[in-house]
Chains A and B, each alone.
Chain A
Amino acid sequence: MAAAASSSCTLRGVGAVASAKPRSAAAPAARSARVAAAAKGPARGRLVARNAVAVTPRRMRRPRRLDPSQAALREGLIEEMKSDPTVCVMGEDVGHYGGSYKVTKGLAEMFGDLRVLDTPIAENSFTGMGIGAAMKGLRPIVEGMNMGFLLLAYNQISNNCGMLHYTSGGQFKIPVVIRGPGGVGRQLGAEHSQRLESYFQSIPGLQMVACSTPYNAKGLMKAAIRSENPVVLFEHVLLYNLKEKIPDEEYICCLEVAEMVRPGEHVTILTYSRMRYHVMQAAKTLVNKGYDPEVIDIRSLKPFDLHTIGNSIKKTHRVLIVEECMRTGGIGASLRSAIIDNFWDYLDAPIMCLSSQDVPTPYAGTLEDATVVQPAQIVAAVEQICQ
């Protein structure tokens, strides 16, 4: 099923690794994420995160390569920048500072100050500048220091990034990648904890993907850079220090395909980004209770991979969506509606959607925990659906 989808996904050059294949290296557990998060710094001020204590299975203790997500992203960037001189990076502190989450560390030394451009604090204008440069043949990667800052670039992202290919009658393409860390972190406060995927999803002409592991981070980064379409790549503030063994050989993840994380029979759980880890944490409890959840990381937030999702629903007949977006107008809301449109006849139970509360993310840790979906809620939801 998913293999068929990836075979029709012909990306340039590289033998595309079927991204829907279950990873032999299990994704690091949620506990590791929590510990890793303690080590990460806020948007400004703290430099390199301390090495996270990654809880990895015994067989991976002596890996050939163990890369944190931010290094995987950086590798993807470097590979593409080496092979295509029109690829460039622009954003605040991406150059000399190495990026607020160190994704672009060392790139300015390698490629120079013009290819790794430190911009002034002017999101709307430098995003528009990236778009103009793309129209004239470059392939810019625009970084929002925090995805939330890209709200300031909404004019350019909506009007120019999404639309210019169409309004120009196909004359100009906009192969930009817009990326940055988003999502709810550790007590970063409301404005640094936003989920822009829900705001951008309606913009026609835009593709959106969310990475969640070092493997798919690198793969999606490379695919996004190579794509002729404008792609928004959502990284997550808490996932930069996750570690995973990734291949030495070159690979790409297909932008439009979802990832099968854990095959199962009883219920389809659709998730993405950080919530994948809460789902997998809940999955352990569920397995102990005798449930067999199928977990799919949808990865492509726009468009949805209805093939992988549909095949799963046709098997399990029950759907739970777990997302970090707010309940109102989030990715879950759109996904639910797409599932109803396409797979209504296969459902044995109403679709459940667990989202964050429609609340500005509070600073206090206890309240913040209450706004996002926790593993216990996921377990309860599955129990309810499977009644």
Chain B
Amino acid sequence: MAAASFTAAKFLAPVAARSGGDRAPPLPAIGAASARPRRGAQQTRLRTALAVSSDVLAGNKAAQAAAGEPVVTREEALEVYEDMVLGRVFEDMCAQMYYRGKMFGFVHLYNGQEAVSTGFIKLLNQADCVVSTYRDHVHALSKGVPARSVMAELFGKATGCCRGQGGSMHMFSAPHNLLGGFAFIGEGIPVATGAAFAAKYRHEVLKQSSPDGLDVTLAFFGDGTCNNGQFFECLNMAQLWKLPIVFVVENNLWAIGMSHLRATSDPEIYKKGPAFGMPGVHVDGMDVLKVREVAKEAIQRARRGEGPTLVECETYRFRGHSLADPDELRKPDEKSHYAARDPITALKKYIIEYNLATESELKSIEKKIDDIVEEAVEFADASPHPPRSQLLENVFADPKGFGIGPDGKYRCEDPKFTQGTAQV
């Protein structure tokens, strides 16, 4: 198994401060047999939250820079920085706009998790696919959907990426191969599996090959989803047929108000990969460079046709589950622990330390992003609402699906159909 490639993802000892429980012994590196029973540790670990201290902040750069070399180039670092800042500023603006009554319904913000989206998606080609959940704004932005299209969609305007018909939880973009945006957790994973199946099919049946290898699909979902049947069914099918997919778990420890530990018999999600025959990797999801390293390997595996990988990113959302969530159950010390591991602050520190860019260059990136997001709001504000005529247009790809009316004509031939007022 290619698990040995994942050397970057080592386990460190859990932090005792989290829940006052005992310090559990270090968890084994991925190459080790996961079948070894650790009963005593099992008990302790279930009571202790799985908090892993960050290499970057603790100053331990062993995994990253043995010879004092940065693990990314200046261009890569700036690209990554800009993408994360875009995600953060955009989501903050969403919160503002929501409270000003410009967007409605359920809005789930991504603050704090930027390292996962950026770490993975910036490695993809245009032909690669991303499938997300309802927490999808930043996945859309990382995949290249313009901020103005996403903001307009959130405002419910006709210029939104889904013409205002999808909303916050249903971001789609065919040119960027963003296959949604799903409101029910778990229901995107089979869709992602299908996209990966299509990539394999194109290669093997249609004989359409690319020199890069197979087109890869990334499926993003959370810890709560990992107790859902669709997750397991797709792990099985993806490994069975060696589909070019990476299952990315954004384990932020909470499914609305349900703690991952209260919901899951074995909370170590990465271990469920080997149970299906694929590598399972755990990575510090607050560290974009670590995520990127793991992502590189997982994506390359998929491209080479070696099959899927399960990557568990330990991450955290700084805001509540959605803008309607009072977020009363999470303890302040847990929140401050992760706030101190803010991936953007950490990367900024890294960039400065390794002289990849200056403070003022980073500031100018931040200013650029501020402008982009403000422009996106202006664009969305100024855009028109969808007209009534849009109501019936996209129900069917072939509008003959509305059938034949009493007069013998197809319903869609009724002139009122394009006005959105036809009887259908």
The one of B194, B204, B234, B404 in contact with A135, judged by C-beta atoms closer than 8 angstroms, is B194
- Is the CB–CB distance between A126 and B198 below 8 Å? no
Known: A8-B409, A168-B180. A120 touches B401 (CB 8 A): no
A169/B192 in contact, CB under 8 A: no
Give the docked Cα–Cα distance between A245 and B395 (Å). 37
Which chain B residues border A120 with CB–CB below 8 Å? 233, 236-237, 240
Residues of A within 8 A of B200 (CB): 114
A385 within 8 A of B: no
CB <8 Å contact, A156 and B190: yes
Considering the complex, give the chain A residue whose CB is closest to the CB of B163.
A169
Contact between B198 and A125, CB atoms less than 8 A apart: no
* Residues 147-175 (chain B) with a chain A CB within 8 angstroms: 160-167, 170, 172-174
Q: How far is the CA of A295 from the CA of B402 in the complex (A)?
A: 24
Q: In the complex, which of the residues A86, A135, A228, A300 has the most CB atoms of chain B within 10 Å of its own CB atom?
A: A135
Of all chain A residues, which has the CB nearest B169?
A: A167
Question: B330 contacts the other chain (Cβ, under 8 Å)?
Answer: no
How far, in angstroms, from A159 to B196 measured CA to CA in the complex?
20
Contact (Cβ within 8 A) A126 B170: no
Across the interface, name the chain A residue whose C-beta is closest to B235.
A125
Let me know if A132 and B195 touch, CB within 8 A: yes
Question: Is A136 engaged at the interface, CB distance under 8 Å to the other chain?
Answer: yes
Q: Quick check: is B187 within 8 A (CB to CB) of the other chain?
A: yes
User: How far is B174's CA from A257's CA once the two chains are assembled, in angstroms?
Assistant: 33
Bound-state CA distance A257–B403 (Å) is 8
How far, in Å, is B188 (CB) from chain A's closest CB?
A: 8
Smallest CB–CB gap between A110 and chain B, Å?
A: 13
Contact of A171 among B162, B229, B395 (CB under 8 A): B162
Identify which of A86, A169, A304 contacts B206 (C-beta below 8 A): A86
CA distance A133 to B241 in the complex (A): 14
Q: Could you give, for residues 219-238 of chain A, a 1 whenever the CB lies within 8 Å of some chain B CB and a 0 otherwise? A: 00000000111000000000
Q: Which of A125, A159, A167, A304 is B233 in contact with, Cβ under 8 Å?
A: A125
Mask, B182-210, CB within 8 Å of A = 1, is 11100101111111111111101110000
Q: Across the two chains, which residue of chain B brings its CB closest to A314?
A: B406
Contact (Cβ within 8 A) A169 B403: no
Chain B 372-413 interface 0/1 with A at a Cβ cutoff of 8 Å (1 = within): 000000000000000000000111111011111111111101
A342 vs B403: C-alpha distance when bound (angstroms): 14
Residue B298 at the chain A interface, CB threshold 8 Å: no
Specify which of A86, A122, A137, A257 is in contact with B404 (CB 8 Å cutoff). A257
How many angstroms from the CA of A8 to the CA of B408 in the assembled complex?
9
Complex CA gap A356/B240 in Å reads: 42
Contact between chains at A168 and B172 (CB < 8 Å): yes
Given contacts A120-B236, A136-B199, A138-B201, contact A5 B408 (CB under 8 A): yes
User: What is the chain B residue whose CB lies nearest that of A115?
Assistant: B205
Give complex CA distance A355, B179 in Å. 41
B267 contacts the other chain (CB 8 A): no
Chain A residues within 8 Å of B202, by CB:
137
In whole angstroms, what is the CA distance A155 to B230 when docked?
A: 10
Which residue of A204, A255, A303, A310 is within 8 Å of B406 (Cβ)?
A310
For the complex formed, measure the closest distance between the CB of B178 and the CB atoms of chain A, giving whole angstroms.
Answer: 9
Contact B233 A173 (CB under 8 A): no
Contact digits for A139-182, partner B, Cβ 8 Å, 1 yes 0 no: 01000000000000001100110001111111111110000000
What separation, in Å, do the CA atoms of A112 and B165 have in the docked complex?
39
A residues 1-57 in Cβ contact with B at 8 Å: 1, 4-5, 8-9
Point out the residues of chain A lying under 8 angstroms from B129, CB to CB.
136
Q: Is A253 an interface residue (CB 8 A)?
A: no
B181 at the binding interface (Cβ < 8 Å): yes
| B406/A170 in contact, CB under 8 A | no
Nearest Cβ on chain A to B196's Cβ, whole angstroms: 8
Q: Lowest 10 A-B CB distances belong to which pairs?
A: A132-B194, A128-B190, A303-B403, A169-B163, A168-B172, A169-B162, A132-B191, A125-B233, A122-B233, A136-B198
11 contacts between A and B (CB under 8 A): A1-B408, A120-B240, A124-B233, A125-B234, A126-B190, A128-B191, A132-B198, A136-B195, A165-B394, A256-B403, A306-B403
